[in-house]
Each structure stands twice: as C-alpha cells, then as structure tokens.
Structure 1
Amino acid sequence: MRGEYKVPGGKLVAVDVEVDGGALTDVAVSGDFFLEPDSALGAIDAALLGVPVTSTVAQLTQVLEAALTPDVTMVGFTPEAIAIAVRRALGHATRWEDHTFEIVHEAAEEPAMHMALDEVLAEAVGAGTRGPTLRLWEWGAPAVVIGSFQSLRNEVDAEAAERHGITVVRRISGGGAMFIEPGSTITYSLTVPASLVEGLSFEKSYAFLDDWVLGALGGLGIAATYVPLNDIASPAGKIAGAAQKRLASGAVLHHVTMAYDIDATKMLEVLRIGREKLSDKGTTSANKRVDPLRSQTGMARADVIEAFKAHFRSRYATIDGAVTPAERERALALVASKFGTPGWTARVP
C-alpha cells in the first residue's frame, strides 16, 4: 500500500508499506525532500518495522523521533509528515486526489442563512449524502459574524451596528469577528471529510486546507503566506482570516473571509475588538491591518472569485453543484430555530 503527504510549504513524502499480522513488515520512505546523512533513510525505514497498524500519527512520530540521532537533518519534511503518509497508506486517511469536490456558487443569501448552510452542508458531508464541497458565498446584507465562543457585547457595538443597518449573527466555528458588506469580501467554505485531515493538528490542518488558496493568490501576483494560527497575509498586510469546526459526524468545516474592499472606518465603529487590536499593535490606520485584495490585484471581485475557482479546478477533480432542495429546507428550519434567534446570537452575552 502507498500513502503520500505534501507538506504545506514543504516537500512530498511517500511511503510504501506491506502489512502482515497487524504490523508493518516492509517500509520504504521516499520523496523530493532533503535528508542528511544518507544512512538516515534506512534508519527511518527500519524504525517503522513491526509497528502496529493501529498506531496513531502521534505514536508513529514518537517512534521515528526516537530512532533519529542528533546529527540527522530533515529539510522540507518532518517525522510527523512521514507518520501521516503511513496512516494514509494504511487507509486511515485520504488525499485530495481521492475526492471529487463540488463547487457551489449561488445567489446572495441573508447572513443567518449562510450560517445555517454551513452547518447543513457539513452534516451532509459527514453523513456521506454529499461529497466534499467548496461553497463561495454571496452576501445579501451587511453583517458582523462572531465566533462561536465570543461575547456579543464585547465584540460588537450594538448601537453602531443598528445605525449602519448591520445584522449580527453567530457561526458554529470559533475564532474572531468578521465585518461584512456585500461586495467587500470574498468568503468561502471548504467542507471535507475528516479523513482528509486525519492525523493533522488543528494548526497544521489550517495550513493544509489553505494551501490551494495560497496558490490561487500567487497566480494573481500576490506573494501570500500562511500565518499561524488562522491568517493569510501578504507583504502588504493581512488578507484573510480562517475558522474551523470539526463535527462529530465526521466532517471538517473550514471557512475563510478575505478583505476585498473594506470600509475600515465603519468596521471600527461596529467592532469593539478591532479598536483594541489596532491599539495593541500601535497601528493607527486600519488599512495597514486589513489590506484589500482590490488594491493588490487591480481586479474586479467577480474576476478574483473566478480565478480562485479556476485554480481549484486545476488542482483537484471538481464538478459544478448546488444546494439541494432538501438541504435548503433544512437550512431554513435552522434559521428559524437557531441562527436567526436572539438565544443563539447572544448565547455568550
């Protein structure tokens, strides 16, 4: 059996294994990484012999680290990367290439409906009733989206939000608040089976799931990088923030909001935490912190989105899709019972 893992920003690691009696009986690690001294490759292969096939990524990593002497230098990969490749070889994890992704890009929705659709589509991916999905959002109204665990009153100036006609909603993932006006951001959700990030920590899964969009931005001339834990930035400043939720059903919801043309003055009137972050960093201009994609690409928002979709299609197997009538009905019910209610929005007052 063969497993592969491409380290975000690093090299490809491949592992060919044979199994007998519940243990690894033959192991061959390969890839385009750099390793010194040469003999270390044999030590890596030997260390994995006899290891139970039920071993976790953490256990496999520990075995490899114990076998490597201090003089070993690994460039572009890590013991953990080898462990992930082993797990994939054993069928515990999947690769991007193992899936066909549905791309959904539909008409504008109200903020609460977007929150509900995220939960519904994640449930469907976990249940196996839909495949992995990239959904690009269009916003039907201005909004502030707060993280699942944020305090409503600490994050949002309610009077300013009402004055500007901004709806406040709460999503199911953690992270910070997002300020949204139609046409001012690019927001997408990537919903995948947990097998795609099996063995990855939360931090590593952020980088792993954001890797394609870094490539898309690079194609637009933006030297974007992943900034732990959940930001995407360029030399000119922050571009985007990500949030993630792993559902018990077996799906991972990863969503990202990118600044295209943010009204920074209005944002700072509405978001209390925005003032604190800027003050803490000694920054007087919000534009230094939230750098719009428009200024870096010179492209219309719709053209940027089309470039993103084209790049995603160039990397992975995709089909064009849509929210099904049953999924939409379920989402509308969730808006009425959860995402559109004061009880959910103010669940952390």
Structure 2
Amino acid sequence: MHGAYHGEYKVPGGKLVVVDLDTEDGVLRGVRVAGDFFLEPDEAILEIDRALEGAPVDTDAAGLAARIDAALPPGTQMFGLTSEGVGIAIRRALAHATDWTDYDWQLIHEPPQSPALHMALDEVLTAEVAAGHRPPTLRVWEWGAPAVVIGSFQSLRNEVDPAAAERHGIQVVRRISGGGAMFIEPGNTITYSLSVPDGLVQGLSFADSYAYLDDWVLGALGDMGIKAWYQPLNDIATDAGKIAGAAQKRMVGSAGGGGAVLHHVTMAYDIDADRMTEVLRIGREKLSDKGTKSAKKRVDPLRRQTGLAREAVIERMIASFRGRYGLAEGSLTEDELTRAKELAETKFGTAEWTARVP
C-alpha cells in the first residue's frame, strides 16, 4: 500500500529503488524501501527502513545516506543499490517527482538544419515544454554545416581560432547551456536534445540529474555492445575514453509555474582530430598528451566500437528509447519553426550573441 508519498529512482548503472512513506510533524514516518536490487544480509532492508524513520523531512540525500550507512550491519553487500540512491528516491518522493513512463514522449528528427537554427530550436522547444504546450521531446539533430558550438559562458577568443574556422568553412555558434566547446562535422557526430518537464528531475541535485537523464543512452550503447558509464559531471565514457559530453539549461514556466530542463548531448562518431585541434584552441591542450598529433588521427569511438553506420547507431538509440518509455513520431509546429527561425536570425546568428563573452 502506498503512503502519502511515493518515489522511484533508478541508480545509474544499477537497479530501481522504490520508496513509500508518510510524514508527521516534520519527520519521515512509515518508510518502506523496495526494488529489484540485491542486498545481503536479508535483514539489512529492515535496518534501512528503521534508519530513515524520524529523519527530518528537509534532510538532503547525502544526510539520508549517512543515516543508512551508520545503521547497516557490518559486511552488508549492496548490488545495484546505493545508500545515496535511497536518499534520492526519498527526495523525489517528497517532491512528487514524475517518472519517464508518466509521459507521452515525442520524437523530432528533421532533415539537416543550420547550426544557429539548432540553437534556437532547443530554446523554443524547451520553452514550449515548460509552458505545457508540448509533450516531453527527444530531438535528434542533423547538421547542415560544420560548426563549433561553444558553451554559454565560454570566451570566444579562448576557445576558437577564427582564421582556422574560416579556412575550413566552420560556423561558430553559442548555445544557451554551459559547458565546453563541441566540434561538429555533419555525419561524424550524433547530437540529441531532451526537453523535459522539471517534474522528471524533482528531488535530484544538478549533478544527479545529468546521470539520470543519460541513463537511457547508456542502456542503448550497452545494447550495441559498448560498456559505457556516466563520468561526473557531464561526460559519457568507455574504456576507449570519453565518447560524449552533455550540457543542461533550466527554464521556468510562464508566470513562474512549472518549468523544463534542456539536456543535450553530442557524441563523437568519427571526427577529424587534426581539423579539430586546428580550430579549437583548447583541443590542442586536451589532445597534446594523448598521442593524437600524428597525421590524420580520428576521434572515432562510436564508429570503431559499434562497427555500425551512423544512421544505424541513431536508429538503435531511438528504438532503445521507444522500448523503454514509448516514443511517438512528431514534428515541429509551424509556430515553433517560425519562432526558431526568428531567434536564429536575431540572436543565435548574431555576432553580438556569439561574442557575448569575447
């Protein structure tokens, strides 16, 4: 039987933790932890419940985890479960967080578009989700031109060699999320965005939300034979090194109600490392100690590790998402596209925005 509060949290790379609880006089009561994890000894589950009984309702996930750790019998073994994961599930219960399967997800996968339009679409679609006008959306990007995408707070001159960018016909655009620069070649990267209601990440710290929103793609990569993991704060890695970087932007809904999170990821399929290090100043630093200065080196983890064409990787990723959460084919509305084109022209395509941090 559910208590007044019900929360679920899938531990990244682990199992599902489910909690039901009540509150009374500002403390937790009747906490019951369950899930498909493994735990030895058997009675440790009762100790976890007891440890959480009476905890103040404003205790953060780390504080709840500390209570659990202090109460567990010596030699307790957890498989697919962490004390922190239980704490997060409780925070999500108290915040009335939603789950992936509570929504009717929509897929947008349009023909190639300009870099500035991609930046604008992220802003417009996430604002529409925040306002409740659009369902949660997975958008897979197709690039109409090579680009460097810099983070919202990065210095343009520190990141990009403008002469090299011009020489290679590479456009430089600035996105609305933080994080580092991305080097894009059409056909050689896989980029996607999730525009989700903020209810999906309620009770998660900023850092935990990255792992939570990346978990489905780790499963999709696993289905393709790639053992990948989340690497804090915003990377996806394998034994061959980093294969993807994520960034996020939070948006509030109209009149302060509701809100949404933009979570977008670029994955390296098969990138020309020489060209990248010519154009990205920071790339020279990052790659100088990795033996990638020799001619015609490529950053190609997804191509090499899957042996699949880029289109096949994308198809499998979409199929994996659909199998987990459901995913209907969608499209941009006329209004969304009009607004995005206007934003691309007046904001993301302007020197003023691109050089806002010179």
Tell me which moved more, 282-291 or 298-307. 282-291
**Distance (Å, rounded) in 1 between the aligned partners of 2:75 and 2:93:** 25
* Residues 1:222 and 1:287: Cα distance change in structure 2 (over 3 Å): farther
- Structure 1 unmatched runs, 5+: none
Note the 1:323-338 alignment, pairs <5 A: 323-338=332-347
Matched, 1:257 2:259: no
Q: Is the 8 A contact 1:239 1:292 kept in 2?
A: yes
**Distance (Å, rounded) in 2 between the aligned partners of 1:116 and 1:287:** 33
Q: CA shift at 1:240, angstroms?
A: 1.4
Deviations 1:141-180 (A, max 9, x none): 1110011111101110000111111110000111111111
- Structure 2 unmatched runs, 5+: 254-258
Matched, 1:71 2:74: yes
**Distance (Å, rounded) in 2 between the aligned partners of 1:287 and 1:198:** 45
* Residues 1:212 and 1:286: Cα distance change in structure 2 (over 3 Å): farther
Between the two proteins, the alignment pairs up a number of residues equal to 348
TM-score, normalised on structure 1?
Answer: 0.90
Match of 1:206 among 210, 216, 230: 210
Deviations 1:219-269 (A, max 9, x none): 222222222222222223332111112223321111111112212211111
**Distance (Å, rounded) in 2 between the aligned partners of 1:78 and 1:202:** 18
Q: Is the 8 A contact 1:56 1:199 kept in 2?
A: no
**Distance (Å, rounded) in 2 between the aligned partners of 1:36 and 1:191:** 39
SS at match of 1:247: strand
State the one-letter code of the partner of 2:318.
K
**Distance (Å, rounded) in 1 between the aligned partners of 2:292 and 2:273:** 13
Cross-structure match for 1:111: 115
Q: Is the 8 A contact 1:147 1:176 kept in 2?
A: yes
* Residues 1:59 and 1:8: Cα distance change in structure 2 (over 3 Å): closer
SS at match of 1:187: strand
* Residues 1:121 and 1:15: Cα distance change in structure 2 (over 3 Å): same
Q: CA shift at 1:104, angstroms?
A: 0.6
Q: Is the 8 A contact 1:238 1:290 kept in 2?
A: no
Q: CA shift at 1:326, angstroms?
A: 1.3
Q: CA shift at 1:288, angstroms?
A: 7.7
Cross-structure match for 2:129: 125
Cross-structure match for 1:61: 64
* Residues 1:227 and 1:23: Cα distance change in structure 2 (over 3 Å): closer
Match of 1:294 among 293, 298, 303: 303
Q: Is the 8 A contact 1:155 1:272 kept in 2?
A: yes
Q: Is the 8 A contact 1:47 1:63 kept in 2?
A: no
Match of 2:227 among 223, 227, 239: 223
**Distance (Å, rounded) in 2 between the aligned partners of 1:230 and 1:63:** 25
State the one-letter code of the partner of 2:45.
L
**Distance (Å, rounded) in 1 between the aligned partners of 2:45 and 2:321:** 34
Q: CA shift at 1:84, angstroms?
A: 2.6
Q: CA shift at 1:61, angstroms?
A: 1.9
Q: Is the 8 A contact 1:155 1:177 kept in 2?
A: yes
SS at match of 2:105: strand
Q: Is the 8 A contact 1:238 1:289 kept in 2?
A: no
**Distance (Å, rounded) in 2 between the aligned partners of 1:258 and 1:150:** 20
State the one-letter code of the partner of 2:166.
E
* Residues 1:295 and 1:198: Cα distance change in structure 2 (over 3 Å): same
Q: CA shift at 1:39, angstroms?
A: 4.2
Matched, 1:171 2:180: no
Matched, 1:136 2:140: yes
Match of 1:312 among 321, 326, 333: 321
SS at match of 2:308: coil
Matched, 1:268 2:277: yes
**Distance (Å, rounded) in 1 between the aligned partners of 2:241 and 2:63:** 38
Tell me which moved more, 63-72 or 120-129. 63-72
Q: Is the 8 A contact 2:62 2:84 kept in 1?
A: no
SS at match of 1:115: helix
Tell me which moved more, 15-24 or 119-128. 15-24
**Distance (Å, rounded) in 1 between the aligned partners of 2:185 and 2:114:** 11
Q: Is the 8 A contact 1:8 1:207 kept in 2?
A: yes
Instruction: Give the share of equivalent positions with the same residue, in percent.
Output: 67
Deviating 4+ runs (over 6 angstroms): 286-289
**Distance (Å, rounded) in 1 between the aligned partners of 2:137 and 2:294:** 36
Note the 1:3-42 alignment, pairs <5 A: 3-19=7-23, 24-42=28-46
Cross-structure match for 2:256: none
SS at match of 2:220: helix
* Residues 1:71 and 1:289: Cα distance change in structure 2 (over 3 Å): farther
Q: Is the 8 A contact 2:273 2:298 kept in 1?
A: no
**Distance (Å, rounded) in 2 between the aligned partners of 1:227 and 1:241:** 10
* Residues 1:345 and 1:130: Cα distance change in structure 2 (over 3 Å): same
